Structure 1
Amino acid sequence: MYDVMAIGNALVDHEYVLSDAALEDTDLIKGQMTLADLDEQQKLLAFFELADIAPSKQAGGGSAANSMYVFASLGGKPFYACRVGDDTPGQFYLQDLHEAGVATSKQSIHAGGVTGSCVVAVTEDGERTMQTYLGTSSEITADNVNFDALTQADWLYLEGYLAMSEGIQPAMTQLRQQAGINGAKIAVSFADPAVVQFAKDGLLNMLGNKVEVIFCNSEEAKAFTDKKQTKAAARALLEYCQIAVVTDSANDTIIAQAGSAQSGDNQTDIIIHEVPTPAVSNVIDTNGAGDNYSGAFLYALSQHYSLPECGRLASEISAQVIQQFGPRLSSQDYKDIAKRVLTV
């Protein structure tokens, strides 16, 4: 049995630390993810080499994979569907997940494929800007998804980046339908402002009639709902979900929850939780902060903690992640934070 089945792009992260001036010399948009082909990524890497900017870290990445790494480290049982090549980076990627307790299947390995990679540019303010070469991950289809795993799971977690991949959309529809049949709840992460801007139709397909949880940040929520205020955007998201979790950098996280229908009309009670974000004096790297938040929140939710408790755990973990390089803490760090934050 699994607590959650997730699906996402499998990417090996290559992190670089650089100045704002150096970032401006690239074609990347600060704070966003840009898709690239192999030639474009090689040109970016050549620019870094010419500028004498060396990579600081290589790690397994991908939004949903990061979330499942957190979920497993906290003690949950996740299954992760993806697509990697039968190459060295692909072997590294899957082994890294297995060691953390994240289950995968042989369906994830594509013979002759090239494992995707993500160049993460971290500027002096800790902001992460990404250029992603999806590699064989861009061709993920239903053939790479072990649908049997979903019959054993209580949750289905969908990564927003996949909204940009047309080939996976039929499998998304099939997963949503099977989740409904099996009684699994669905959680969707918007993942990046670029996803909302360029692939809203794909997100709407993920959301279907309605899902249990949406994870996003304030910028994504406002863009998706056309609302100017974070709290109003969180409320508007309840058209698509039962629980909207909207992070807002150093500001409080807004958790909007749909209540029971009021008698005599079609209005719905809405409960708003505002969860404080821990103060961080030295932000080093925001890469993976949202992924960690979603993974920690979903773990606590799967263990039946209250929404404020879920938010507190997720906020504490994200606050710790941004004070180091890389998108993941050690497994023990996750456990120590949970022991400190969660009540028995």
Structure 2
Amino acid sequence: MYDVMAVGNALVDYEFVLTDAALEETELTKGNMTLVSLEEQQQVLAFLKLANIKLSKKAGGGSAANTMFAFASLGGKPFYACRVGDDEQGLFYLKDLNEAGVATSKQSIHAGGVTGSCVVAVTEDGERTMQTYLGTSSDITSDNVDFDALTQADWLYIEGYLAMSESIQPAMTQLRQQAGIHNAKIAVSFADPAVVKFAKEGLLNMLGNKVEVIFCNSEEARLFTEKKQIKAAARALLDYCQIAVVTDSANPTIIAYKSEQTKEVGFYEVTTPTVAHVTDTNGAGDNYAGTFLYALSQQYSLPECGRLAGEVSAQVIQQFGPRLSSQDYKDIAHRVLTV
């Protein structure tokens, strides 16, 4: 049995720290994710090497994978479906997840495929800008998804980046249908403003008639709902879900919810922990979603879910890389949930 089954893009992260001026030379849009070809990925890596900008960290990444890493580290039982090549990076990627307690399947390995990669450019203000080569992950299909795992899960979690993949859309429909048959609740993360800008139709397909939870930040919420105020945007998201969780950088997180019994709408504002210095925002939203979902699966209240998720994300942005150590997650949960 699993607490959650997740589906996402499998990417190995290559993190670099650089100045705003150097980032400008890459022509990437600061704070956003850009999809590129293998040649374009090699070009930016060549530029960074020529500029003597050294690799800060190599780690398993991918939005939903980061989310499941946090979920597993807190004590949950997740299953992760993805697509990697049978190359060194793909084997590294799956081994990294398995050692953290995230179950995977051999269906995720595609013979002859090239495992995807993500160049994460972190500027001095801690903002992360990403350039992604999806590799074989871009061709993820129903063949890479172990649908049997969903029959054993209470939740289905889908990362928004998959909205950009046409090949996965039939599987999305199949997953939603199977989740309904087996009474699994669905959670969707919007993942990045670029997803909402360029793949809203794919997002709508993920959401279907309605899901249980949507995770997004304030920019994504405003883009999706076309509402200027964050609270109005959160309320508008309830047309697509029962619970909308909208983070807003250092400002309080807005949790909007609709009562299943009375259909009334309510809001919680959860204070975001103060952080003296932001080192790297890569993975902050992924960890927030994973932590929140774990606490929700353990029947904690929505404010408690938000407080724990906020504390984990605050710790993540004070270090390099999208994941904490497994012990760090447990220590934060012990501190926050036993108060």
Asked if these proteins are the same fold (TM beyond 0.5), I'd say yes
Alignment of 1:1-344 (within 5 A): 1-260=1-260, 268-343=263-338
1:74–1:260 Cα change, 3 Å: closer
Q: For 1:162 and 1:203, locate their aligned partners in 2 and report how far apart those are by CA, in whole Å.
A: 8
Q: For 1:329 and 1:158, locate their aligned partners in 2 and report how far apart those are by CA, in whole Å.
A: 22
How far off its partner does 1:343 sit? 3.5
Q: For 2:308 and 2:260, locate their aligned partners in 1 and report how far apart those are by CA, in whole Å.
A: 26
TM-score (norm 2): 0.99
Gaps of 5+ in 2: none
| Worse-matched range after superposition: 219-228 or 46-55 | 46-55
Task: Please list the CA deviations of residues 193-214 of structure 1 after superposition, one character each: whole Å capped at 9, or x if unmatched.
Answer: 0000000000000000000000
**Residue identity in the other structure for 2:39:** D
Task: Please list the CA deviations of residues 266-305 of structure 1 after superposition, one character each: whole Å capped at 9, or x if unmatched.
Answer: xx41110000000001000000000000000000000000
Q: For 1:295 and 1:188, locate their aligned partners in 2 and report how far apart those are by CA, in whole Å.
A: 11
**Residue identity in the other structure for 2:298:** Q
Q: For 1:217 and 1:16, locate their aligned partners in 2 and report how far apart those are by CA, in whole Å.
A: 24
Task: Please list the CA deviations of residues 143-162 of structure 1 after superposition, one character each: whole Å capped at 9, or x if unmatched.
Answer: 00000000000000000000
Q: For 1:140 and 1:194, locate their aligned partners in 2 and report how far apart those are by CA, in whole Å.
A: 20
Q: For 1:37 and 1:306, locate their aligned partners in 2 and report how far apart those are by CA, in whole Å.
A: 43
**Residue identity in the other structure for 1:214:** I
Task: Please list the CA deviations of residues 111-166 of structure 1 after superposition, one character each: whole Å capped at 9, or x if unmatched.
Answer: 00000000000000000000000000000000000000000000000000000000
**Residue identity in the other structure for 2:27:** D
| SS of residue matched to 2:26 | coil
**Residue identity in the other structure for 1:78:** P
Q: For 1:93 and 1:254, locate their aligned partners in 2 and report how far apart those are by CA, in whole Å.
A: 34
| SS of residue matched to 1:178 | helix
| SS of residue matched to 1:326 | coil
| SS of residue matched to 1:121 | strand
| SS of residue matched to 1:25 | helix
Q: For 1:66 and 1:200, locate their aligned partners in 2 and report how far apart those are by CA, in whole Å.
A: 23
How far off its partner does 1:259 sit? 1.7
How far off its partner does 1:261 sit? 6.3
Task: Please list the CA deviations of residues 156-196 of structure 1 after superposition, one character each: whole Å capped at 9, or x if unmatched.
Answer: 00000000000000000000000000000000000000000
Q: For 1:334 and 1:306, locate their aligned partners in 2 and report how far apart those are by CA, in whole Å.
A: 19
Q: For 2:162 and 2:171, locate their aligned partners in 1 and report how far apart those are by CA, in whole Å.
A: 11
Q: For 1:260 and 1:241, locate their aligned partners in 2 and report how far apart those are by CA, in whole Å.
A: 11
| SS of residue matched to 2:320 | coil
| SS of residue matched to 2:134 | strand
The runs of 4+ residues in structure 1 deviating greater than 4 Å are none
Aligned residues with identical type, % of pairs: 81
Gaps of 5+ in 1: 263-267
Q: For 2:93 and 2:20, locate their aligned partners in 1 and report how far apart those are by CA, in whole Å.
A: 30
**Counterpart residue number, 1:265:** none
How far off its partner does 1:13 sit? 0.1
Q: For 1:287 and 1:107, locate their aligned partners in 2 and report how far apart those are by CA, in whole Å.
A: 28
